[in-house]
Amino acid sequence: MREVFYNRQWAVNYARLWAYSRNPRYFDFADIGGDCTNFASQCIFAGAGVMNYTPEIGWFYINVNDRTPSWTGVEFLYDFLVNNRSVGPYGFTVPQSEALPGDIVQLADGVGDFYHTVVIVSVYPEITVAAHSRDALNKPLREYNYSSARFIHIDGVRSW
């Protein structure tokens, strides 16, 4: 395996382009549980350019019926990113102050269940995000109603 560059600007550009519309290459999950993590995965893929085609535990999307849970599930995406030691993007949680554009934020409710994934598009003067399900672009993170958040820094990408 070799390291490849995670292009944060490409991830942000993708988020800006598709925040209020849908890329026809991907199914819109809005009516069957939400499209937020699908959108975040698309943004990450735009910056990474590499998927992990390992069945069940990888991170890929071919079509609505051929994808991993990590492509569309909040907890599954988190588990993939922070535990990935193979091909594809990987990362770790960081304090809010260390988050960068192209990273993601996952929001939790009062009992600690993470329910929403958003993509950071800017960090100064405050963190703003792009999202699907509740479509948003340049929305200040502080405007969301959540009990806690985890910031996932995409640290790099591995390829064959």
d(CA 37, CA 117): 5
70-108 confidence digits (pLDDT tens): 999 999 999 999 999 999 999 999 999 999 999 999 999
Which residues share a beta bridge with 154? Answer: 91
Q: In the prediction, which pLDDT does 68 show?
A: 98
pLDDT value of position 84: 98
pLDDT at position 139: 98
* Residue 120: predicted pLDDT: 99
- pLDDT, tens digit, for every residue of 60-70? 999 999 999 99
Residue 13: pLDDT band (50, 70, 90) is very high
Model confidence at 2, pLDDT cuts 50, 70, 90, reads very high
Three-class secondary structure of residue 64 per DSSP: coil
C-alpha to C-alpha distance for 89 and 86, rounded to whole angstroms = 9
The pLDDT tens digits for 122-144 are 999 999 999 999 999 999 999 99
The 10s digit of each residue's pLDDT in 18-74 is 999 999 999 999 999 999 999 999 999 999 999 999 999 999 999 999 999 999 999
Q: Are strands 88-94 and 136-140 parallel, antiparallel or unpaired?
A: unpaired
Dihedral sign for Cα atoms in the order 93, 94, 98, 99: positive
Q: Is residue 49 a contact partner of residue 87, using CB atoms and an 8 Å limit?
A: no
Q: How confident is the model at residue 151 (pLDDT cuts 50, 70, 90)?
A: very high
CA–CA distance, 76 with 78 (Å, rounded to integer) = 5
- Residue 121 pLDDT: 98
**Short-list 102, 115, 123, CA closest to 144:** 115
Distance (Å, rounded) from C-alpha 122 to C-alpha 136? 13
Alpha carbons 106 and 37: distance in angstroms, whole number: 9
Q: What is the CA radius of gyration of the chain?
A: 14
